[in-house]
Amino acid sequence: MKKIYFDHNATTPVAEEIFEAMVSYLSDEWGNPSSIHWAGRAPKKAIDEARENVSALLNCTPQEVIFTGSGSEGNNLAIKGTVFSRKAKGNHIITTRVEHPSVMSTLKYLEREGFEVTWLDVDTEGMIDLAQLEKSITPKTVLITIMSANNETGVILPVGEIGRIARAHKVLFHTDAVQAAGKVPLNVKDINCDLLTISAHKLYGPKGVGALFVKRGVRVVPIIHGGHHERRRRGGTENVASIVGLGKACEMALRDMDEVSSRVRALRDRLEKGLMEKIPYTTRNGHPENRLPNTANLGFEFVEGESLLLNLDMLGIAASSGSACTSGSLEPSHVLIAMGIRPELSHGSVRFSLGRVNTAEDVDYLLNKMPPIVERMRSMSPLWSAEEGKRAEISFEEKGH
């Protein structure tokens, strides 16, 4: 069966050169980097190099990089680590309604612990209102946490502006850059952020490793207490092979980003334009320009996302749904709902996220295979009137829940 992967925002295949860089740290170089003796020396050097590579991608110093076990851990450390150390100053945090669950759930937990959170709305294109942000800042505000780019729609938020506002009000600014890293340039000095999260497996590196940039002088209390690792900010013997993989992934991202992003953008545009032309009642979710070059989030009216994904999967095409139904929750995507998209349409939304392995043939395969699937599903949908080629008027009894 053909296998076509359009789900790079979920994870990416590990690049050959990254895998090769990692292997010796799972075999010959097994030492503990903290050891004083011969066994620890090569692993220690490898970690130092990886830290250099991460800092080069973000334009910070190596000392400002903390290795973590995932993007989620990075977000947890950035948020809890800063607000816990600033309890004396205040208890107010500002965020948006479209953050990743690792930010959202952390903030909901903090709300239960007595913190106050302002959840900024987004408009129909997924953008926040900067004036609204500035108005929300109070003397009690200790942290603004807003993602660099949204995982579902690819919408890029104005982090540079947010950083300037935060700085002017002397409030810390954290950005979850897990989706933006490697796809668009990230420079912590331009963004004006104090903390920034990345994850290796979105960059063709291994799962289970990430990094958090913490600006020099910004105090972060650990959430994993332990030894002296990571300047006492994250306990645990370093996951050497994975850290090497992350370092290599950052090196590769810095080297290849321009070339890969322009190629991927052309493929994404071909995919999006093609589907919107071939399938009537297809809408784009998210800002048309301010978004990642690899992501297209499209709503197909009158059909449901999981069914679409299952049908695509039977043809070897991997994509993901705006409907969180597929991930075990029953609610439609909180991101699309925050953008004011109707529940049925957000249930019928599909995210295609492209990557360096995709080709024009992959896109054309989708453009040939998908329109008949949607047509067949619409013919089965009570919301669609095939004879009239428009929405069917139906009323129904509410059941379930």
Residue 299 in contact with another protein, rule: CB under 8 A: no
Binders of another protein among 312-331, rule CB under 8 A?
A: 314, 323, 325-326, 328-331
How far is residue 196 from each of residues 43, 210, 247, measured CA to CA in Å? 25, 11, 16
Closest to another protein by CB, 367 vs 383, is: 383
Q: Which of 100, 201, 347, 351 binds another protein (CB under 8 A)?
A: 347
Residues shown for the chain: 401
d(C-alpha 336, C-alpha 230), whole Å: 38
Rg (C-alpha) for the chain, rounded Å, is: 22
Residue 1 in contact with another protein, rule: CB under 8 A: no
Least Å from the CB of residue 282 to another protein? 16
d(C-alpha 134, C-alpha 168), whole Å: 10
Binders of another protein among 222-281, rule CB under 8 A?
A: none
Closest to another protein by CB, 166 vs 335, is: 335
SS3 for 92? Answer: strand
**Near another protein by CB under 8 A, which window of 30-38, 151-159, 235-243, 304-312?**
304-312
d(C-alpha 230, C-alpha 67), whole Å: 7
How far is residue 113 from each of residues 78, 117, 119, 223, measured CA to CA in Å? 17, 11, 17, 15
Least Å from the CB of residue 247 to another protein? 36
Q: Please count the residues of this chain forming the interface with another protein, following the rule CB under 8 A.
A: 34
Q: What are phi and psi of 358, to 5 degrees?
A: -75, 150
Residue 379 in contact with another protein, rule: CB under 8 A: yes
**Near another protein by CB under 8 A, which window of 48-56, 144-152, 156-164, 376-384?**
376-384
Residue 305 in contact with another protein, rule: CB under 8 A: yes
Residues with Cβ within 8 Å of 310's Cβ and at least 6 positions away in sequence, in order, are none
Q: Which of 302, 339, 358, 363 binds another protein (CB under 8 A)?
A: 302
Helix or strand (DSSP H, E) at 66:
strand 65-68
For residue 325, indicate whether it is catalytic: yes
Any idea which residues carry the catalytic annotation? 325
Binding site for another protein (CB under 8 A): 302-307, 310-311, 314, 323, 325-326, 328-332, 343-344, 347-348, 379-383, 394-401
